[in-house]
Structure 1
Amino acid sequence: MSDEEDFTPIKPVESELLVVTGMSGAGRTTAAHALEDHGWYVVDNLPPQMLGTLAELVSRMPESMPRLAVVVDVRSQNLFRDIRESLNGLKSSGINYRVIFLDAADNVLVRRFEQGRRPHPLQGDGRISDGITAERELLARLKDASDLVLDTTDMNVHALATNITELFSDSGPIVLRLNVMSFGFKYGLPVDANFVADARFIPNPHWIPELRPHTGLERQVSEFVLQESGAEEFIKRYVDALEPVLEGYRRENKHYATIAVGCTGGKHRSVAVAVELAKRLAQLPRVKVAVQHRDLGRE
């Protein structure tokens, strides 16, 4: 065997930079601790102006720090206003990074601050809600440009840590992770949905007495919904339409998406359609699917 045949090239180690940001009270600290537990080197409350310097240092020594997570938020006060400029600097330098934005409903953020007995960093002499409003305005463009928006409204610290673990426990997301969520339109749109489908074109089992007490998780309701005219064609065409979008997500280095399916109350039609949609999406290559029923059990 020749020396050339004996030689096996070693793939160089590439560093990974994750920028963790979002609303105060949405769980950045919990996310940072979960990342640290899984081997990430975490830097908390870094001024945005130092992002480029730190990222360049890591890119030069990827073996010593292959996975770096940086928590950047409004605690840096006026320095935070330059974060988009700092991120654009990373992009122009060719440094690979992702941005995860943690969010939650305003009333939940207020409750978390009240429970922790801490002021919001932007409230000044005003109320907690004033600080939240100011922060939302400041972060609006950053949220829109983030790779992943994770809504922690209904998560406790353990659920959030589990979500972070599933997304970033190894070498970052290695498959496209889809969250298929059923919901009720009367309770509002999911704030973190990338796609929203409307199942209200299907006749409502609520108006059939023998089906009303049951849910879309039960066979009699599921069969009724999926056998209705247009349901099968809708699901098939929706999966077909999503395939090129999901492939584009991979090309753009996006690894997480929430697909929401709504009906009036989130009990019958959206639940049955979401379950069936998830089954079919799970058959696509390099896709991992989870199902969540946001409003199931609400009256």
Structure 2
Amino acid sequence: MGADLFAAATPVEEDVEEEALGTDLVIVTGVSGGGRSTVARALENVGYYVVDNLPQALMVQMAELAAKAGGPAKQTAMVLDVRSRAFSTDLSGAIRELRERGFEPRVVFVDADDEVLIRRFENVRRSHPLQGTGRLSDGITAERALLAEAREEADVLIDTSHLNVNQLRTRVEELFASPEALKLRVTVLSFGFKYGLPPDADFVLDARFLPNPFWVPELRDLTGRDEPVSGYVLGQRGASSFVETYARLVVTTAPGFEREGKRYLTVAVGCTGGKHRSVAIAEELARRLREQRVVAHAQHRDLGRE
């Protein structure tokens, strides 16, 4: 009976271990004012599911949930904060338990010089979470004592003393981002001017200089996705050079946007109602961008709205 139970349980345990091994787990901790929040945002930007201010006691449960959920949760970052009432100095014990369950977490410790930390707290006029009735330096000293073992055992130590926000973000991307995650993703969004400008547009293109297929009876009920309308719009004088000009603009600026940490770009293409010209132009622009190895797709905000 006992042997049968063991045999039945073994595959389940193996499945759990396989799920754990397929999970990219990052644990972020460090001194207050060191830049944990910036590290968390940078990890989120490159595809990690970030859980901020997680009680240390829930680390194992969170890791197992991420492993079972799969998808985006397969890359999970857990940010531990000394300000949490559930924070414990036995971080190494929690890490050890994760490894015993098949996980391979990477621990990131964010640090900075005391003088830099004091200046940062003074600039934002905040007290240190462990300062109590003492001085800023007292709080920093108390926190360092709590985190000494975690710092010693960290896989990655990031000293932010001489890094600005962009430099810290870049450092995190260098360490954790896949090349694919760093690529700029372009949405070419068609819209109708009569419904208003898209508020999230980075570039706005106006296709109303082209003849409107609405006034062609056989094209009126079709959309820019249909070949007769697309052929009509793109066959007009200036249409091809219009698309080519903006394709070059996006291709030229994309590396700069990527260096500045921008991961999503919206190019909005408008016509009167968002049904014919803007749709055809958006589809063609997205296609030409893909030919130039830019990650791009077309969306149509107002199609079908009329």
| TM-score where L is the length of structure 1 | 0.51
Match of 2:105 in 1: 97
- Equivalences for 1:57-72 in 2 at 5 Å? 57-72=65-80
* Match of residue 81, structure 1, among 89, 113, 130: 89
- Equivalences for 1:1-299 in 2 at 5 Å? 14-77=22-85, 79-170=87-178
Match of 1:292 in 2: none
Residues 22 and 28 in structure 1, CA contact (< 8 A), matched pair in contact too: yes
State which structure, 1 or 2, has the greater radius of gyration over its C-alpha atoms: 2
Q: Number of matched residues?
A: 162
5+ residue gaps, structure 1: 1-10, 173-299
Deviation at residue 165 of structure 1 after TM alignment: 1.2
In angstroms, what is the RMSD of aligned CA positions? 2.1
Distance in 1, matches of 2:28 and 2:69, equals 21
Structure 1 segments of 4+ aligned residues over 6 angstroms from their partners: none
Distance in 1, matches of 2:125 and 2:178, equals 35
**CA gap 1:162/1:64 in 2 versus in 1, 3 angstroms:** closer
Distance in 1, matches of 2:151 and 2:129, equals 19
**CA gap 1:60/1:78 in 2 versus in 1, 3 angstroms:** closer
Which secondary structure does the structure 2 equivalent of 1:70 belong to?
strand
Which secondary structure does the structure 2 equivalent of 1:80 belong to?
coil
Which secondary structure does the structure 2 equivalent of 1:100 belong to?
strand
5+ residue gaps, structure 2: 1-17, 181-306
User: Partner amino acid for 2:118?
Assistant: V
Which secondary structure does the structure 1 equivalent of 2:123 belong to?
helix
User: Partner amino acid for 1:150?
Assistant: I
User: Partner amino acid for 2:44?
Assistant: E
| TM-score where L is the length of structure 2 | 0.50
Deviation at residue 84 of structure 1 after TM alignment: 2.6
Deviation at residue 21 of structure 1 after TM alignment: 0.5
Deviation at residue 126 of structure 1 after TM alignment: 0.8
Which secondary structure does the structure 2 equivalent of 1:76 belong to?
coil
Residues 56 and 86 in structure 2, CA contact (< 8 A), matched pair in contact too: no
Deviation at residue 68 of structure 1 after TM alignment: 0.3
Deviation at residue 78 of structure 1 after TM alignment: 5.3
